[in-house]
Amino acid sequence: MTDRMSSLHIERAQRADQLLANEQGLSRQLTQRQLGMMAIGSAIGTGLFLGSALSIRIAGPGVILSYMFASLVTMALMGCLAEMAVAHPTAGSFGIYAELYLSRWAGFTIRYTYWVAVSISVGSEAVAAAIYTQWWFPQSPMWGWVVFYSAVLILVNALSVGAFGEFEYLFSMIKVSAIVVFILLGVAVLFGYHQDRPIGLENFQAYGGFLPNGLRGVWFALTFVMFSFLGSEVIAVSAGEAKDPERAVPRAMETMLARLIIFYVGAIAVLVGVIPWTQVQPGHDITVSPFVRVFEIVHIPAAAHIINFVVLTAALSSMNCNLYLGTRMIFSLARGGYAPPILGHVSQRGTPFPALLSSAGGLAVALLLAILLPKAAYVYMFGISLFGALFAWVLIFATHLQFRRHTRGQKIRHFLPLFPLTTIAGAAAVIAILISTWWVQGMRVAIQSGIPWLVLVTAVYYIWGRKRGVYATARKEANPEAAD
């Protein structure tokens, strides 16, 4: 038995070396400073500035509890990713970890599912950016802005990863600074600034109380709130291009989580405190950011224009990060033998340009929906990308359980307390939230599109993908009769 276990450890180590070696060629230029801001930039996007309207409509002021719970789940996920990213810094990130510690099916499925999810998410961000711009130019066509912003962001992603990091750092700083100002100004408004009388805690208690739809509303709001935190896993993916991943990745995750929780909970508390939750977003179609509505209602028009510019910047920044994520996922699949080899090519600048173009496919979907369903486009794309991202989170938690089991006794840095309880609880929470989308208006599309997708990608794996993969090919060449 001991010899067999030793043999399995040796084989897994060889497999890890093979998988990680496949992704050589990317340039390690990202600093800790850039990594931290990239994570915040990826997470602080339309999920907060636009999608918050949907969650507030369901939970009322109780949405604050939804954001607190989502923060705990995200903290657990970041702990899992930090441990695995430090042990295996690679662009394929959790896709490689799933293939290494769960199965080749898991690695194949999570990477393709996440790639599709973030590619569509890029499209939803483009639609959101168009919505923000139409606030200034209401007569302009949405599809025109989608095309314009898509072209600009593809160009930015085609630059070197160092230039990309600086771009994200700048845009994220704009968002972070704006949220800080928003919170401070919102608190001033609550105490009576630019008002006939102080608002105080009135809006937290009026219109049905703090929990107008009960704890059920708080729970169902999580389907939208979780979307606000999706993208924070960019740190694990960018570990493959970090200068010093062992130091940069854990530190970036720690600072990112602390800031994210403060910004999200603080901004949402101010939002529902300043404006009655029933007036945040009337109707079912999203036509403006609720953050802009706050300043419209308190009659500070100049601030409303500034905030609209900030949320536009936030959408473009998040769109940019998601393009980066999707590009690295399909690049990893190509280098692993599961996608056309051309998608694994790297330019002289160290950028996988063919993979970038393929990841821009979600922009075509966004363009189509912007033309056919201009008012409901964001909600539809929101639901589709939500399933893929939450499915990836579930597999990340599952992978971490196996990672800890297979690395027991090795010198692995641990960042997650109360293991395995934290990992299991995180996985259970995400599964429950995903199932809940069936009963949330507009979100049933998540399961309706997600389940058929999983059936399709599984069939593709067993018909085509199982016989592919660099490691499988190497093993077959060494032992033609070896079982898969």
Q: Examine the pLDDT at 345 and tell me if it is beyond 80.
A: yes
CATH class of 2-478: mainly alpha
Mean pLDDT of the chain: 78
Q: Mean pLDDT over residues 130-140, rounded?
A: 87
What mean pLDDT do residues 278-304 have? 66
Task: Flag whether pLDDT at 212 surpasses 80.
Answer: yes
Confidence label for 287 from pLDDT (cuts 50, 70 and 90): low
Residue 312 has pLDDT above 80, yes or no: yes
Please compute the mean of the pLDDT values over residues 191-195 and round it to a whole number.
72
Mean pLDDT is highest, among 80-89, 161-170, 427-436, 461-470, for 427-436
Q: Is the pLDDT of residue 229 over 60?
A: yes
Q: Where are the domains of the chain?
A: 2-478
Decide if pLDDT at 458 tops 80: yes
Of 388 and 249, the structure prediction assigns the larger pLDDT to: 388
Residue 198 has pLDDT above 90, yes or no: no
Q: How confident is the model at residue 180 (pLDDT cuts 50, 70, 90)?
A: confident
**pTM for the full model?**
0.82
Question: What number of residues does the chain have?
Answer: 484
Percent of the chain with pLDDT over 70: 73
Look at 100 and 284; give whichever has higher pLDDT: 100
Say if residues 165 and 31 touch (Cβ distance below 8 Å).
yes
Contact 124, 150 (CB under 8 A): no
Distance of CA 456 to the CA centre of its chain: 23
- Predicted confidence at residue 128, as pLDDT, reads 79
Q: Which residues of 320-359 are buried (b: 16+ CB within 10 A; e: fewer)?
A: bbbbbbbbbbbbbbbbbbbbeeebbbbeeeebbbbbbebb
Cα separation, 272 vs 175, in Å, equals 20
Strand partners, 24: 26
Instruction: With a cut of 60, say whether residue 348 has pLDDT above it.
Output: yes
pLDDT in tens, 363-419: 777 667 666 766 665 566 666 778 888 999 999 999 999 999 888 877 777 778 888
Nearest in space to 356 (alpha carbons), one of 108, 154, 160:
154
Q: What is the pLDDT of residues 63-111, one digit of tens each?
A: 999 999 998 898 899 889 888 888 887 777 888 899 889 988 999 999 8
